[in-house]
Amino acid sequence: MSNSLIPIVDLSPFFKEGDEEGKKRAKEIIGKACSESGFFQVKNHGVPVDLMARALNLSKTFFGYPNQEKLKSSPGIGAPLPAGYNTQRDHSQDKNEYLLVFPPGSSFNVYPSNPPEFREVLDETFSYLVKLGMLLETTLNECMGLPPNFLREYNNDRSWDFMIGLHYFPATEAGNNGLTPHEDGNTVTLVFQDEAGLEVCKNGEWILVTPSEGTITVNVGDAIQVLSNNKMKSSTHRVVRPKGKSRYSYGFFYNLHGDKWVEPLPQFTTEIGEKPKYRGFYFKDYQKLRMRNKTHPPERPEDVIHITHYAI
Ligand SMILES: O=C(O)CCC(=O)C(=O)O
Ligand SMILES: [Fe+2]
C-alpha cells in the first residue's frame, strides 16, 4: 500500500494573482481525481499549518481528560447532529470518541471549557476550513461544467457545516477497526491527521493516506455524486487504528442545509439524454437516516442506509 496513487494538489496558484496556468493544472488534477476515486490531497491551501498542529495538540489534551471532565460538554437536544463530546456505543464497530462543532456562533455548540484556548482554536480552524471548502466547491463547479457560481448559490447556507475532532483508541488484539468503510453524505470533506490510519478505496484496493504536515485530504461526498448523476464519485474510505498508539484527526464536513432538495441535475440527465440514477430527497432526511445507522446500528449490514437507498 502506498499513497503515490493519491495526487497532492498545490493550491498556491489560487492565492495569488495571475497564475492561470497553475490554476488550470490544479483543476485538471482535481477533476480527474473526483471522477475516478473522489479523493485527493491539497497543500498550500490557506489553512495555517501551525493552527492545524495546535488543533491536534489541544484535542489530544482534551481527550486525555477523565470522562467526568469530557462529559461536561455532552450534547444538548435539538441540533441536526449531536454537537459536543460523544462516545460510540460499546457494541459499535467504530472505536473512537469525538467532539463535534457547528460553525462559530452556532447556538447548537457545546464547547469544552478546558483546555481554555480550545474553543478559540476550534472556531479559527473551522473558519479557515469553510474558506477552503468554498474554494474546492468553486473548483468542482468548474470541473463539472456547471454555470459559474451554480454550486455556491445552491449551497448558500453554511449553518449545517460541522467539524469533528476524533480520537481513535490504539488497536488491540480484538481488532483494529477505527471507522468501517463508508462514504460521506455531504458535499466535500476535509481531513487532517497526526498518525496514519485513513485509507481510501481505489479500483478495489485500499490505499493508505500517509499524513504529511500541513497536508489536507479531500473527499467528495454523496451529495455531489447525486447532483452529478455519478459523474463525480463519492469516495469510499475507512480508518484502521495503529497499534500501540492513539490516533487524532479532524474531519470538516462542508455540508448542505437540511432543507436542500438533492437530485441529479438536468446538466447530467435530461440535457444529455441520460436517466437519473437517483430519486430526489431532502438532505435532512438522508442525514437523519445516516445518524440512525450510528445510534441504532442494524443487525444485518445490508440494512445500513447508504446513498443506494435513493438509487433508481
Ligand atoms: O479520521 C479520519 O481520518 C477520517 C474520518 C472520517 O472518514 C469521517 O468522520 O467520516
Ligand atoms: Fe468519512
Q: What is the ipTM of this complex?
A: 0.99
C-alpha cell at 199: 485509507
Percent of the chain with pLDDT over 70: 99
* 97 has pLDDT over 90: yes
pLDDT for 203 equals 87
pLDDT for 69 equals 96
- Does 249 sit in the ligand 1 pocket, CB within 6 Å? yes
Output the pTM of the full model.
0.96
Please write the tens of the pLDDT for every residue from 267-290.
999 999 999 999 999 999 999 999
* 160 has pLDDT over 60: yes
Q: Whose CA is nearest to atom 6 of ligand 1?
A: 251
* 127 has pLDDT over 70: yes
d(CA 38, CA 19): 25
Average per-residue pLDDT in the chain? 94
Ligand with the closest atom to the CA of 166: 1
Helix, strand, coil % (nearest 5) of the chain?
35, 25, 45
Domains annotated on the chain, with CATH: 8-264 (2.60.120.330)
Please write the tens of the pLDDT for every residue from 30-89.
999 999 999 999 999 999 999 999 999 999 999 999 999 999 999 988 899 999 999 988
- Nearest one of 302, 297, 254, 305 to 281, comparing CA atoms: 305
* 2 has pLDDT over 60: no
Distance, CA 247 to ligand 1 centroid (Å)? 11
Question: Do 100 and 163 touch, CB atoms closer than 8 A?
Answer: yes
Distance, CA 169 to ligand 2 centroid (Å)? 17
Distance, CA 241 to ligand 1 centroid (Å)? 12
pLDDT for 7 equals 92
pLDDT for 4 equals 61
- Does 237 sit in the ligand 1 pocket, CB within 6 Å? yes
pLDDT for 211 equals 85
Name the residue of 161, 176, 189, 216 whose CB sits within 8 Å of the most ligand 1 atoms, as the mutation to test its pocket: 189
- Residue 297, judged by CB atoms within 10 A of its CB (0-12, 13-18, 19+), counts as middle
Q: What is the mean pLDDT of residues 204-233?
A: 95
Residues at Cβ < 5 Å from ligand 2 ion = 184
Q: What is the mean pLDDT of residues 209-217?
A: 91
- Does 58 sit in the ligand 1 pocket, CB within 6 Å? no
Distance, CA 196 to ligand 1 centroid (Å)? 12
pLDDT for 1 equals 39
- Does 222 sit in the ligand 1 pocket, CB within 6 Å? no
* 232 has pLDDT over 90: yes
- Does 251 sit in the ligand 1 pocket, CB within 6 Å? yes
Distance, CA 81 to ligand 1 centroid (Å)? 16
